Amino acid sequence: MEKQNFKGWLYLIPAVLFLGVFMIYPLVDVFVYSFEEGYNSASQTYLGVGGYNYSYVLHDPYFLQAVKNTFILVIITVPVSTILALLISVGLSSIKPLRDLFQTVYFLPYVTNTLAVGLVFMILFKKTAYSDGMVNLLINLFGGSSVDFIDGPYWAKMFVLCFYTVWVVMPFKILILTSALASVNQVYYNAAKVDGTGSFRIFRKITIPMISPMIFYLIITGFIGAFKAYSDAVALFGTNLNAAEMNTIVGYVYDMLYGNSGGYPSYASSAAIILFAIVLTITCINLLVSRKHVHYT
């Protein structure tokens, strides 16, 4: 018994070491930094210990903007992408001919290079010397006037960011959901049909509960992914996100470390810890909600 325990720990050592060095230690370190006031990484000195960093970050208008942006992004893209992916997957599962073709088409964005995706979005949205972009052409066609989606009003830029995010995360969700749908035993559908169930009720009462573990997985990872959004915004609006009012929390952390106004690891750490707390809270809420609505079989 004793010996077996010892062996078990032995096998765990590589993983524990790896996690310790690359996850736990940095996490603790960031936590410590976040309370060290006026830390200077060159001289490795600091002035004192306290909550000033947090107070600074929480009063920084750029940070508040970043929090607002991030929350809008999360609240819009997670439900929209999940619901859209669900509808598309159900559609895909119920057609027979050309299913493989459609599946490939929907999966393309996932394997496409970010730069190529950015190019597509430029053609769609960006104003150039020659055109106002495809979307504006459409708007004009219906009698509206052009909108500058990249350098224009806040809502237009937010729309593009959300659109982009939804578009990028969808393929993976569709992939997961189509396979989840395919794994539901046909016999339950047959049973429901014989019992006189309409197709919408079958979807709501049978399909959704049956694939709820996968939906839940997508929601959790979707939340976490959206809270960590940064590179998408850079791809669309360039590196000076603060000026564009399009910064995200992770973007703010990055700027505080390396950006033009950078060199403040203490502020960056505080912001990172705040993000950590937000994600942790949301994930816990998710887990609590899921207890009631997710059915593992």
Partner 1 sequence: MKIVLDHLTKKFPSRSRKERSEVTAVGDFCFEIPDGKLVGLLGPSGCGKSTTLNLICGLLKPTEGKIFFGQDDVTNLPPENRGVGLVFQNYALYPHLTVQKNIQFPLENLKGAAKLSKEEMQEKVYAAAKLVQIEGLMDRKPSELSGGQQQRVAIARALVKMPKVLLLDEPLSNLDARLRLQTREEIRRIQKETKITTIFVTHDQDEAMSISDLIVVMKDGYVQQIGKPQEVYDNPVNLFVAKFLGTPPINVFDGNVKDGMLYIGDDAVLKVGSVPNQEVHVGIRPEGFILREDGPLHCNLSRLEVMGRDVSVVSGHPCCQSDTIRSIISAENNVDTDSDTVRFALKPGKVFLFHKETEERIHFEVE
Nearest by Cα to 76 from 212, 169, 178, 203: 169
Is 55 among the residues that bind partner 1 (CB under 8 A)?
A: no
Burial group, residue 111, by CB count within 10 angstroms (0-12, 13-18, 19+): exposed
Quick one: tokens of 136? 């504006």
Which of 23-31, 98-106, 204-212, 239-247 is the region at the interface with partner 1 (rule: CB under 8 A)? 204-212
In whole angstroms, the minimum distance from the beta carbon of 174 to partner 1 comes to 23
Is 194 among the residues that bind partner 1 (CB under 8 A)?
A: yes
37 three-class SS: strand
Q: Long-range CB contacts (< 8 A, 24+ apart) of 276-279?
A: 278/227, 278/249, 279/223, 279/224, 279/227
Helix (H) or strand (E) holding 49: strand 48-49
The DSSP symbol for 41 reads T
Is 297 among the residues that bind partner 1 (CB under 8 A)?
A: yes
Q: For residues 38 and 265, is the Cβ–Cβ distance under 8 A? A: no
Quick one: tokens of 119? 């190019």
Q: Which residue has the tokens 């210990």?
A: 49
* Closer CB to partner 1, 14 or 196, in the complex: 196
Is 196 among the residues that bind partner 1 (CB under 8 A)?
A: yes
Is 188 among the residues that bind partner 1 (CB under 8 A)?
A: yes
Is 260 among the residues that bind partner 1 (CB under 8 A)?
A: no
Is 197 among the residues that bind partner 1 (CB under 8 A)?
A: yes
In whole angstroms, the minimum distance from the beta carbon of 212 to partner 1 comes to 8
* Closer CB to partner 1, 87 or 191, in the complex: 191
CA–CA separation, 93 and 96 (whole Å) = 8
Is 205 among the residues that bind partner 1 (CB under 8 A)?
A: yes
Q: For residues 223 and 173, is the Cβ–Cβ distance under 8 A? A: no
In whole angstroms, the minimum distance from the beta carbon of 186 to partner 1 comes to 10
| Chosen residue from 23, 105, 138, 191 binding partner 1 by CB under 8 A | 191
In whole angstroms, the minimum distance from the beta carbon of 196 to partner 1 comes to 4
Q: Which residue has the tokens 């940064």?
A: 230
* Closer CB to partner 1, 129 or 187, in the complex: 187
Is 193 among the residues that bind partner 1 (CB under 8 A)?
A: yes
- The letter for the amino acid at 66 is A
* Closer CB to partner 1, 7 or 204, in the complex: 204
Is 289 among the residues that bind partner 1 (CB under 8 A)?
A: no
Is 7 among the residues that bind partner 1 (CB under 8 A)?
A: no
Return the number of other C-beta atoms located less than 10 Å from residue 199's C-beta: 12
In whole angstroms, the minimum distance from the beta carbon of 244 to partner 1 comes to 46
Q: Which residues bind partner 1 (CB under 8 A)?
A: 185, 187-188, 190-198, 201, 205-206, 209-210, 212, 295, 297
